[in-house]
Structures are given as C-alpha cells and as structure tokens.
Amino acid sequence: MSQYYYLVSGLPDITPEDAKLPLGYTDYLGQLMESLSRHDRGLLSYFRMGYEMRNLLTWLRDREAPLHPLGQLTKEDFYEQLQLIDFEERSPLPGVPAFFLNFLRERSEGLIAEGQEENRLTALFYEHARCCSNGFVRNWFTFEQTLNNLLIALSCRKYGWDVESQLIGDTETEQQLRSSSARDFGLGQIFPQAETVIRLSEEEDLLEREKGLDRIKWDYLDELCSTCYFSVEVLLSYLVKIQSLERWIELDPRSGEEKFRSLIASMKSSVQHKEDK
C-alpha cells in the first residue's frame, strides 16, 4: 500500500467552522491526480463519480448541453458506450464504469420509471461502491447512502409522502426504512448516528440543520481514518471535507436559506406530480 508522507504532512489543518479555505477543491484534486499511484487514482474515481453521473444524465437529456468540467468522460465516450447496449457480450469501454452500461441497458429496455433515472443511476453507483476492495470507500458510501435515505424517509414521514419510490437502493436498510414505524426506523443498532439525524431533521433553521449533518459526516470520516496516518484514505477524507467547506464558504446565509427552501419545494412538487397521475 502506498504511503504519502510528504503530501499528508503538508495538508493544512481544517475544521468544520472554517470560513476560509487554505486550499481549493479543484487545486487539491489536481494534486491528488499528480501524486497518487495508479491504484489509488482508481479509488479517487469513486469520489469524482458524482460529476460523471451528472454529465451522463445531462447528455442523455440534451446532447448539446455543456458538461461539468470536473467530469473526465466526454460526450464521445457516452455516445460510444451507448452503441454497445445491444451487445451483451461487450464490456464497458475503458474508463467507463460498468454500472453506466447497465444503466443504459435498463433505460433502453424501459425498466426505469419516469422521473427515476437519477435515483436509479445513484443506486447502481452505491452497489458499485460496495464492491470496492478498499474498506474506506465501501464504508463511506454505505454511510452516505444510509444517511441520505434516512433523511428522505424522515421527510416522507413528516409530509405524508410515499417513501417507496423516493429511497435510493434496495438493501436491507432501505427495506427497513420502507416498512418500520419505529422512531428511528429500527436503525439504532446499525447506524448509531440515527438519533442525532432525527433531531436535526426537526431543526427549523435549515442552515443549522445542514451544518449539523455535515458535522456528522466529518466525525464519521475522522472515525474511519482513526488508524490511518499517511495512506490514501487520509487524502480522500480530506477531499470530502474540502468539498463540504467550499460549498459553505460559497454560500452566504440568505442564499443558503433560499437554496434549501427551494429544494424542499422541489421535492413537494415532485411528489404532487406523481399523485396527480
């Protein structure tokens, strides 16, 4: 396993309360791309996958739309991959995740419900991450999936929405979130952060709620890296933290409040649209 003594020792200290970043996300990502071994760049790709998925969905909706610059796959990559969906014996193109090909085949065969493409692609990514050989990657994305789905289930419970189509994935955890009537959906034993998440979901100040959720993520990253010192896990954890801090620094309180209220309104509108069908 590669050790990155110089790179890790040179990382500036950061805290969740920082109002200024010593190093930008894009600059740090560039450092990682230059410094990591080939194997560890493969682990880094999991943390860049959100941009690739966003670009794939953007391209499918509008072939002429610009792609996010942090995505590495091009429109040509997506087009060439799309040509392979009818050939079962063909593997994904080099550099294209296998689950992209699975997603495109499901989409072509009409197996993805209207309005569920993003959820389905995200679910396939989480399945992909759970198969990673690296424990940090597996644990982090399992945690992220559980946290996000718990928040979705709590919103559905609060507003009386149908939780069935909103949750991402179909593991035992999602099945429990769909069926349990317990306050914590019976997740207390397998997800120790459940009670804290529930309390935060009841916070009326949306900015404080989101800040609290980020602190939960931050603490979990520290827990995962508690026995790591100069390994790639420390560098990947730092990447997630920088991304979180950069998001907050770019938001002033007013725009942040508007953004989160817009998100809630969008979710309500989506559910109402489904009910009217």
| Domain match, 148 and 124 both | no
State which residues form the domain around 35: 23-133
Instruction: State the pLDDT at residue 250.
Output: 80
| Domain match, 141 and 262 both | yes
| Res. 227 pLDDT band, cuts 50 70 90 | very high
Q: How far apart, in whole angstroms, are the C-alpha atoms of residue 160 and residue 2?
A: 49
| Domain match, 178 and 149 both | yes
| Domain match, 206 and 174 both | yes
| Domain match, 147 and 170 both | yes
| Domain match, 91 and 126 both | yes
pLDDT digits (tens, 9 = 90+) for 88-147: 666 678 889 999 999 999 999 999 999 999 999 999 999 999 999 999 999 999 999 999
| Res. 274 pLDDT band, cuts 50 70 90 | very low
| Domain match, 87 and 111 both | yes
pLDDT digits (tens, 9 = 90+) for 10-60: 999 999 888 888 889 999 999 999 999 999 999 999 999 999 999 999 999
Rg (CA), the chain: 20
Q: How far apart, in whole angstroms, are the C-alpha atoms of residue 23 and residue 239?
A: 10
H or E element, residue 176: helix 172-179
19 backbone dihedrals φ, ψ, rounded to 5°: -105, 0
Domain assignment present for 27 = yes
> Please, what is the end-to-end C-alpha distance for the chain in angstroms?
54
| Domain match, 28 and 125 both | yes
Instruction: State the pLDDT at residue 271.
Output: 47
Domain assignment present for 18 = no
Q: How high is the mean pLDDT of the chain?
A: 89
| Domain match, 50 and 171 both | no
Instruction: State the pLDDT at residue 142.
Output: 98
Last residue of a domain, one of 133, 156, 178: 133
| Domain match, 110 and 217 both | no
